[in-house]
């Protein structure tokens, strides 16, 4: 029987209102030992994700571990996107075992969760596997995570994917939220975030707009 295509997005694509973003342990003590991704790239990707979520009004949870006593503050690039938002500090390595975080997840009420943070094999694997087991749909932003080695990061990603998590990247996250350049109300915001944090893609936007007055729409 023939299949008829329709111009409608797939249900697995994320939208601004259908998920909660959880950013975990982007702190200096955790980043010192992160070797699977360059620290500058990591901070840039985390900033891109945070500003995309803030700009599109995505419900977002920011959580740290032992902020005052050991791990240090969350990256300013992230907190700047959410001025005044409370950071949920924990003692547990597995965010899912923290009652305050779970209370916030339940209060928001979204069953689709997107995770990013440090380290992939501890702070991301723990809540991801726990959430999947409890019936949540889980995405992991792979290049906004990092671990003590390439091996540690890759094995953690494989473990989560095998359990049902869906991987994506930071730039993919931003562009999936925008998805259509005809959405003029968020066009300038999206290209602005890309120009600031989107690496070579951002440089391309700057070049095209400066030299030719180009516009994706």
Domain count, the chain: 2
Give the span between the Cα atoms of 198 and 174, in whole angstroms: 10
Are 128 and 39 part of one and the same domain? yes
Q: Place 208 in a pLDDT band, splitting at 50, 70 and 90.
A: confident
Token pair recorded at residue 98: 């923290």
Indicate whether 207 pLDDT > 90.
no
The pTM of this model reads: 0.94
Are 53 and 109 part of one and the same domain? yes
State which residues form the domain around 119. 20-179
Token pair recorded at residue 167: 């991987």
pLDDT at 16: 98
What's the whole-number mean pLDDT along residues 188-196?
Answer: 95
What's the whole-number mean pLDDT along residues 56-76?
Answer: 90
Q: How many CA atoms lie within 13 A of 31 on its CB side?
A: 19
User: pLDDT digit string (tens) for 70-125?
Assistant: 788 999 999 999 999 999 999 999 999 999 999 999 999 999 999 999 999 999 99
The separation between the first and the last C-alpha atoms of the chain, rounded to the nearest angstrom, is 36
Q: Place 205 in a pLDDT band, splitting at 50, 70 and 90.
A: confident
Considering the domain boundaries, does residue 15 fall inside one?
Answer: no
User: pLDDT digit string (tens) for 164-183?
Assistant: 999 999 999 999 999 999 99
Give the span between the Cα atoms of 15 and 173, in whole angstroms: 9
């Amino acid at each position: 029987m023939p299949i008829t295509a329709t111009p409608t997005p797939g249900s697995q694509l994320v939208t601004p209102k259908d998920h909660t973003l959880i950013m975990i342990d982007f702190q200096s003590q955790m980043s010192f030992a992160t070797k699977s991704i360059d620290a500058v790239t990591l901070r840039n990707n985390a900033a891109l994700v945070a500003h995309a979520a803030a700009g599109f009004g995505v419900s977002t949870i920011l959580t740290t571990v032992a902020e005052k006593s050991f791990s240090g503050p969350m990256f300013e690039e992230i907190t700047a996107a959410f001025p005044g938002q409370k950071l949920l500090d924990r003692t547990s390595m597995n965010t899912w075992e923290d009652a305050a975080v779970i209370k916030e997840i339940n209060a928001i009420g979204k069953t689709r969760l997107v995770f990013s943070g440090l380290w992939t094999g501890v702070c991301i694997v723990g809540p991801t596997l726990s959430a999947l087991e409890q019936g949540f749909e889980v995405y992991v932003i792979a290049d906004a995570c990092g671990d003590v080695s390439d091996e540690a990061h890759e094995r953690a990603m494989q473990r989560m994917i095998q359990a049902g998590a869906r991987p994506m990247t930071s730039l993919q996250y931003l562009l999936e939220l925008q998805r259509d350049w005809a959405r003029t109300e968020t066009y300038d915001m999206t290209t602005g975030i890309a120009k600031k944090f989107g690496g070579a893609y951002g440089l391309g936007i700057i070049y095209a707009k400066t030299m030719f007055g180009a516009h994706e729409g």
